[in-house]
Structure 1
Amino acid sequence: MQTCGAIHHWQRAAHGLEVVFEQGVMRLEAVAADIFRLRFQPQGEFAARRDWDVVQPQAGAEVQVFQTDAVLGLRSDALRVEIDPDSGALSFDGADGQPFAQDMGGPHWRCVSINEMPGLATVPDRELPPGPARIGLFLDKHMHPREGYFGVGQRSGRLDRRHQRLSNWTVDCACPGHAQAHDNMYQAHPCVMALRPGRAWGLFLHSTWYSDFDVGASQADSLRLFTLGGELDYYLLAGPTPAAVVEQLTRLTGRPALPPLWSLGYHQSRWSYADADNVQQIAAGFRRRNIPLDVIHLDIDYMHGYRVFTWDRDRFPHPEQTVARLRQQGIRTVVIVDPGVKNDTRTDYAVAEQGRAQGHFVTRPDGGLFTGYVWPGESLFPDFCRAATRRWWGDWHADLLAQGVAGIWCDMNEPAIVDRPFDTPGAREQPMALATRQGEAQAPALHAEVHNLYGHLMARATAAGLQRWRPQRRPWVLTRSAYTGIQSHAVTWMGDNRSCWEDLAMSLPQVSSMGLCGAPHTGVDIGGFFDDSWGELYARWMEIGSFYPFMRGHTATGTRPQEPWRFGAEVEAVARGAIELRYRLLPYLYTLAHLASRHGAPILRPLCYDFPDHPRFYTLEDQVMFGPQLMVAPVTAAGQDHRWVELPAGVWYDFWNGARVDPGPLMHPAPMGRIPLFVRGGSVLTLGNLRQSTTEPLSQLTLQVYPGIDAHWTLIEDAGEGWAYSQGHIAETPLAVSQTQGGTVVTLGQRRGAFQPAPRDMVLKLHLPVAPKGLMCDGRQVNDWRWEPAQRCLRWQWCDDGQARRLETV
């Protein structure tokens, strides 16, 4: 193991300093006052920026360099770092002077073997390619004994990552479904959040090569960073709160895109709906049963022989008519597109012909076209590291958009490849060789460097194509594989799970961990993808699924159908109620989507995000917050009609009956159809009227006010589609709750922004322990309110004109 040794000399650099050691060079830069970047290169020459870099250019911050006999350091307004002159070890502290993220020593490195990295077990290479791919960089940071470690993207294990070794390398899981033993999965997010009372900080390992985090698995008090590629490069995020860490990460890697409103409704999918008639039957089933639905997904069988950008004209003879008929019912269509392009030389398949002629496909190290097997058989794979290829791929979506398709679902893009046709016994994974060259001729890259970006760049190319060909609408792309920063381009889901209680429970830390990595719009296949679901499991999954930021039911070919009515009348009623709750919550959810697009704030998040100073919540993963106002405690095991719930200190209300609930642990009723759902005191929860689709108008807006603490909230609305919101065509209504000696005061500020919602009724529901004596509006007595004992709430309805009002109970 080689180390950098002592400092030889140093010099000022832009927004930081550059330090030359006995061996190697370190560059420290304040890219912002609260974000420092560290780079260490043993050979002294830093890698050039790639055009696919997920980090957004930063302006840099003013810093002071200081030096004493003992340390060399750098200081901004929010962050301070000291460098040990004898070892190169760093120690950070914030404005409070408390140290964190302390190195246990300087960077160290050595040549490594492919056998040392279990995450690379499936690659065909027997050894790593010569050069930087064989140089492994290591850095050990001290783990505070009270810290929990969170994030690291898509995982199958616990919420707190302590005592785990986590690889960052995208793979299609070989065995059906997820398992707790799985390490790396479909996505790679080399970012971690550390949290202890009074301090949160984050680290983004800026490496697309194979990397891993050893979070105290090998040494209990050490967080070890490891990456291939011959250079250590990471961003230190100062926090000091979980919200600040996520804001800093998304400021760095891109804010989440604001999705169109329709995409927040319910999606129904299956591998596959057989033909156009079957799709229409599914749509009619939802409408006949009054179960809300906004989207139907078409899986691979809509294509002709699984050739991307084609339609099977026997199954879908008139695709534009099929899509239009759905749209007339308020249902949009999303279609799947895989990266594998059939290597078809016998038919007039323009995608393959153009790609070969224009050099858009990945080649082998010997220069021949790389091929592997996926659904269409022997296939070619676009080189998304080339800018021209990304544009070419994006442009191929034009016909799908012209036929009315609303969104694109990118699948199999880890990329998932096998060594023979799928219907041949013994098919095994056959990833691209690590030595495969990709990218521009003047700046080629090994597949070892860009593998983790393959699905990410496919989704980015797709979103850019949708934006070019349909600029008046917001692109909506769903992707299975991704890298940190995907939130700017696509929505994700957690891949091929199973119909079992373990995977239902696993979905909560999965989705909430993705939010901590800057990707708030995430979901899982409700009901499970592999295996047959059953009534109780499906009903409970639908209950929690109504709170996933992306809500889709999906299942595999050969399994029992999983539309809401397939399990009998009782389960159908539960599923209908869960989806109806989702649609009533859309005004609140859409506001959360706006906040995510502005600050990165997760939508579904673990309790430790909102209650970071309470370590008992660091490992509590079967309760989650849905935004700052709602706590959800789903049933995740069979045969339960009650469950233990832990409520943090403060005022809480039962959503279903409006009753106040004491904080602390309690056994709470959880009958099927009534998921334990709690509202934080001080909330103004905005609910809409029941709709079968987001194409129907929001004709009533209910403000459910829960007194307890003084609080503020802003309802954010816009047209739900298009880009006018970014030009000021938005409506923001500030809402406030306060307590006085005379009663509760609710203040509705005057609506701001150029967007004017359609006329609707406004309903105020003010939850109180006893009936008030009266209601005042702007100092005048209101006579047409009523007390609803069952809900413990005052109800008052009026026409919404967007004007400021002060409402007071007396």
Structure 2
Amino acid sequence: MLVQTAIPSRTWAFLASAALTGTIGCAVHSDPIASNESAPGGEPLQTLQTSQRSDVEAVRAVQRVRFDVPGQYLIVEVLDDDLVHFELSAKGAGPGAGAPLFTSPMVAKTDYAGPTSFVREGNTLRTPELEVAVDAATLCTTVTDRLRGARLNTICPRNLAQDWKGLTLTPGETQNAYGLGQEFVDGSTADGDWVGRVRSPGGNDGNAMTPFANGANGNTQIPVLYALGAPSHQYALFLDQVYKQRWDFQGSPWVAEMWGDQIRWYVMTGADLPDLRRDYMELVGRPLVPPKKAFGLWVSEYGYENWAELESKLTSLRAKAFPVDGFVLDLFWFGGVTSNSDNSRMGSLTWDEARFPNPAAKIAALRTQQGVGIIPIEESYISRGLPEHADLQGRGYLARDCATCGPTYISSNPWWGKGGMLDWTNDAAADYWHETKRQPLIDTGIVGHWTDLGEPEMYNANAWYQGIPGIGHAHADVHNIYNFKWLESIARGYERHGARRPFMMSRSGAAGIQRFGSAMWSGDIGTSYPSLIAHLNAQMHMAMSGIDYFGADIGGFHRGGFSGNLNELFTQWFADGMLLDVPGRTHTENLCNCKETAPDRIGDVPSNLDNVRMRYELSPFLYSLAHLAYRFGDPVFPPLVYAFPNDANVREMGHEKLIGTSLLLGIVAGAGETQRDVYLPAGTWVDYYTNAWITSQGEWARNIPEYRSGRFKLPLFARAGAIVPKMFVDEKTMNILGMRTDGTRRDELVVRVYPSAQGSSFTLYEDDGETTAYRTGKVRTTLLSQKQEDRRLTVTIAAAAGTYTGALASRANVVELVLPNAEPTGVTLNGVALTRYATKSAFDAAASGWFKAGTNLVLAKSQSLSVTGAKTFVVTAGP
């Protein structure tokens, strides 16, 4: 029987009105700010289709179909042409007829419009893009991508009537699997997807810190799976489950097991990995743009015991001409802790003014005089001897032993003391804590928040919480969403108080934490090469899991087990972190005051200085990528497979990374290493340091040096067509906002261009760097484009669009054009010839002109010009 969609009778009046006013339509990609800009790969507005014939267009509607077998049911909810939601259970009756399926707090978007057309033929459901076939006897579902003719998976129930239940997934033509959050698996290689491995839970309830290579690293489940097969064979699956999970990819079928009465999941189809990731990010929420200072260098240790110790580090960094944007304060800021005692300071979240006097004045002075910010740590534990514990207990804001019991008492592993823990699932408790403890810190001018121990690290497995509506009150119900609710409460507090931009560093979390402004770091990582190697593999999966800002304690937190050359390891790790971590943050356990984390005091200092300056130079590029991540869901640091999915050589590659899709870097983690091979996918590439052009058919560039003029640098290549906006950085640069030691400003726009005959463009995004005004359109965009035609290389800096508080009305413009093995003969700006200078000093002294700066490199600049006009540089070059 062929069943077609019908239009509810109550919609006809609306349809008639809409037909007259022309209001029917739907954008394929939504933009979180008011803008006419299309997403990459976006489609035009589509005419809605329905199998119901009429003289007016029909309203799209979510389609729900239920299937029952004795004791079990399956509901298929078709949300869009390429998105289907499932619920499977052997317990309970399920939602009422026509009711939407339940979604956990991880899901951000629940207002899908439904497919543009929908057909049911027996047990087969079709949209224009996908087909779901249900076996009515077993409740197995088979999803087919209709556009690409690919059968993607068959998913079947497993032990559905048991407490520990799951799904089986037939791999079919799938060859690789990515995502699923963070787990440290193998310290011998940064490569590896999940096929052939087991994605294990960290602990009895899921998220946990787990031992690895003399450290302890986070195991954080973010249950989105990207399955990739032959060309045109790919899908994403998001398991909307908050309970502990285990995924086994060792055989066929794959097996996903979990607790929980219902199993709910989404399947997304799409043209490629970028399409799938954007769909996933739309579902769980795209990341907020971090404060601009988060893209600078942050220096940390466990821990600075007073302002004097911090200022000593800052003075030393400034003396060595290191730019730095902030310091992270571990728990000494609120007085330290007393182990194995009810009388610890854990949970006071109030400045210890004996060690850190006049905090508001000091933070203001650090900001205005030195250009640095402060991020303090906070935890969820409250020592029982504190008045805060009694206050929270009286209000019912702590996790309890039962619904009518007093607060649970955390006494195991009492390194911080003993006491209770905040119940972040209680929004009233979370809001109260924000107003009484966190908001005063924000009012003093801190830049962000460091949320620690949020797995949670210690807990009563039998505790009772306010709970998550539709999920439950037990610890197992809230364990993997506990840190999520903590981060959500911080973002909610910022929303209440206005314009400041939230930013958090979290040790744990769940799918969707990025929409609150959270980054993650990998925990108390060991100082070792295996730790760094495994971290870089985890970064590949975290990037695909939606966590764009993922870092490590640069140099390692636990140094005790390392016996090698610490300076060499730190130098390599610091270089990796300066290109991949947001924030780029050095950290270690230093209770003995005998260890160093500041990059002017450990490692090869000249190399560290070069690498931190490169990070600052690239900050406009990174910040623009952050806006693209916010607007469209594109990753900031994707693995190579994201951009080159059909290249078998990069399917499991984690030892090379992309920045955006323009820059490719080879990471380094090896004692005594001085050079490495770098794989270059098919195309034209340019060595970032030498400007040498390489045409690759998908080949290895051999013996790429890691030391250039005695300085350690990661191998870095740009794709032909890359356009990289940069910041001017020199020995006077103090921070990422442009503060300089002599009080001057260098706010010229620097654009590095690698020309291509295909032409290309990149949009520079700028905002005030601190407030949420960018979310309501207070953003300036400047389209940068290039085109290579015979001997003419054209670079255009278009007129800027939009503005924000503090935006420049005019600026100088500098183009760094990397020539494709050609000799420059002349440069014009808007049709007027520029003067050629013979030396760099003469070029620097001139207001405008051009200069051949070295092999294949031309520098051309304008005087300060209005941003409202286009600037077109044309370089003529010969063989």
Letter in 1 for 2:858: L
Counterpart Cα distance in 2 of 1:381 and 1:339 = 5
Report the Cα offset of residue 43 of structure 1.
3.1
Letter in 2 for 1:501: Y
C-alpha contact 1:15 1:63 (8 A) present in aligned 2: no
Q: Of 846, 852, 861, which residue of structure 2 is paired with 1:788?
A: 852
Report the Cα offset of residue 26 of structure 1.
1.3
Letter in 2 for 1:336: I
Aligned pairs for 1:331-350 within 5 A: 331-344=372-385, 349=387
Q: Percent identity?
A: 24
Which residue does 1:523 correspond to in 2?
551
Aligned pairs for 1:179-258 within 5 A: 185-196=218-229, 197-215=231-249, 217=250, 220-258=251-289
Q: Of 273, 288, 291, which residue of structure 1 is paired with 2:304?
A: 273
Report the Cα offset of residue 536 of structure 1.
0.6
Q: Of 56, 65, 77, which residue of structure 1 is paired with 2:109?
A: 56
Which residue does 1:505 correspond to in 2?
533
Aligned pairs for 1:287-298 within 5 A: 287-298=318-329
Matched, 1:41 2:98: no
Unaligned runs of 5+ in 2: 7-60, 96-100, 186-190, 336-344, 740-744, 837-848
Letter in 2 for 1:487: Q
Q: Of 678, 681, 685, which residue of structure 1 is paired with 2:720?
A: 681
Which residue does 2:17 correspond to in 1?
none
Against the structure 1 CA distance between its residues 621 and 53, is the aligned structure 2 distance closer, same or farther, given a 3 Å change threshold?
A: closer
Matched, 1:772 2:824: yes
Letter in 1 for 2:816: K
Against the structure 1 CA distance between its residues 694 and 36, is the aligned structure 2 distance closer, same or farther, given a 3 Å change threshold?
A: same
Counterpart Cα distance in 1 of 2:223 and 2:462 = 20
Letter in 2 for 1:596: A
Q: Of 105, 108, 113, which residue of structure 1 is paired with 2:158?
A: 108
Counterpart Cα distance in 1 of 2:246 and 2:469 = 30
Matched, 1:480 2:507: yes
Report the Cα offset of residue 186 of structure 1.
4.2
Report the Cα offset of residue 108 of structure 1.
3.1
Report the Cα offset of residue 442 of structure 1.
10
Which residue does 2:476 correspond to in 1?
448
Which residue does 1:388 correspond to in 2?
428
Against the structure 1 CA distance between its residues 435 and 337, is the aligned structure 2 distance closer, same or farther, given a 3 Å change threshold?
A: closer
Counterpart Cα distance in 2 of 1:140 and 1:172 = 25
TM-score, with normalisation over the residues of structure 2? 0.81
Question: 1:713-747: CA deviations, max 9, x gaps?
Answer: 11111111212223322111112222223422223
Counterpart Cα distance in 2 of 1:701 and 1:11 = 55
Report the Cα offset of residue 529 of structure 1.
0.8
Letter in 1 for 2:133: E
Matched, 1:763 2:795: no
Q: Of 866, 871, 879, which residue of structure 2 is paired with 1:805?
A: 871
Against the structure 1 CA distance between its residues 730 and 155, is the aligned structure 2 distance closer, same or farther, given a 3 Å change threshold?
A: same
Which residue does 2:490 correspond to in 1?
462
Q: Of 597, 618, 621, which residue of structure 2 is paired with 1:562?
A: 597
Aligned pairs for 1:128-147 within 5 A: 135-145=163-173, 147=175
Report the Cα offset of residue 786 of structure 1.
3.5
Report the Cα offset of residue 38 of structure 1.
0.8
Question: 1:552-604: CA deviations, max 9, x gaps?
Answer: 11111346212112236xx1111111111110001000000000111221111
Which residue does 1:699 correspond to in 2?
747
Matched, 1:18 2:18: no
Corresponding residue SS for 2:228 = strand
C-alpha contact 2:399 2:407 (8 A) present in aligned 1: yes
Letter in 2 for 1:371: Y
Report the Cα offset of residue 309 of structure 1.
1.2
Matched, 1:99 2:150: yes
C-alpha contact 1:631 1:677 (8 A) present in aligned 2: yes
Q: Of 688, 691, 697, which residue of structure 2 is paired with 1:658?
A: 691
Counterpart Cα distance in 1 of 2:64 and 2:555 = 51
Matched, 1:367 2:405: yes
Against the structure 1 CA distance between its residues 81 and 227, is the aligned structure 2 distance closer, same or farther, given a 3 Å change threshold?
A: same
Question: 1:323-364: CA deviations, max 9, x gaps?
Answer: 2232231010110000001112xx5x2x22221111001111
Report the Cα offset of residue 443 of structure 1.
7.8
C-alpha contact 1:16 1:65 (8 A) present in aligned 2: no
Which residue does 2:845 correspond to in 1?
none
Question: 1:207-245: CA deviations, max 9, x gaps?
Answer: 001122112x2xx23222222112110011213311112
C-alpha contact 1:204 1:234 (8 A) present in aligned 2: yes
- Which 10-residue stretch deviates more, 28-37 or 581-590? 28-37
Question: 1:78-133: CA deviations, max 9, x gaps?
Answer: 322222233222222224343343216x3232565xxxxxxxxxxxxxxxxxxxxx
Counterpart Cα distance in 1 of 2:792 and 2:759 = 12
Counterpart Cα distance in 1 of 2:532 and 2:106 = 34
Which residue does 2:188 correspond to in 1?
none
Taking only aligned residues, the RMSD between alpha carbons, in angstroms, comes to 2.6
Letter in 2 for 1:535: N
C-alpha contact 1:92 1:102 (8 A) present in aligned 2: yes
Counterpart Cα distance in 2 of 1:26 and 1:452 = 25
Letter in 1 for 2:705: P
Report the Cα offset of residue 495 of structure 1.
0.8
- Which 10-residue stretch deviates more, 298-307 or 648-657? 298-307
C-alpha contact 2:499 2:773 (8 A) present in aligned 1: no
Counterpart Cα distance in 2 of 1:352 and 1:154 = 33
Counterpart Cα distance in 1 of 2:82 and 2:763 = 27
Counterpart Cα distance in 1 of 2:160 and 2:613 = 57
Matched, 1:402 2:443: yes
Aligned pairs for 1:590-629 within 5 A: 590-629=623-662
Report the Cα offset of residue 145 of structure 1.
4.8
Report the Cα offset of residue 203 of structure 1.
0.8
Against the structure 1 CA distance between its residues 32 and 434, is the aligned structure 2 distance closer, same or farther, given a 3 Å change threshold?
A: farther
Letter in 2 for 1:72: N
Counterpart Cα distance in 2 of 1:443 and 1:527 = 40
- Which 10-residue stretch deviates more, 555-564 or 712-721? 555-564
Letter in 2 for 1:482: G
- Which 10-residue stretch deviates more, 231-240 or 741-750? 741-750
Report the Cα offset of residue 283 of structure 1.
1.6
Counterpart Cα distance in 2 of 1:353 and 1:441 = 27
C-alpha contact 2:118 2:127 (8 A) present in aligned 1: no
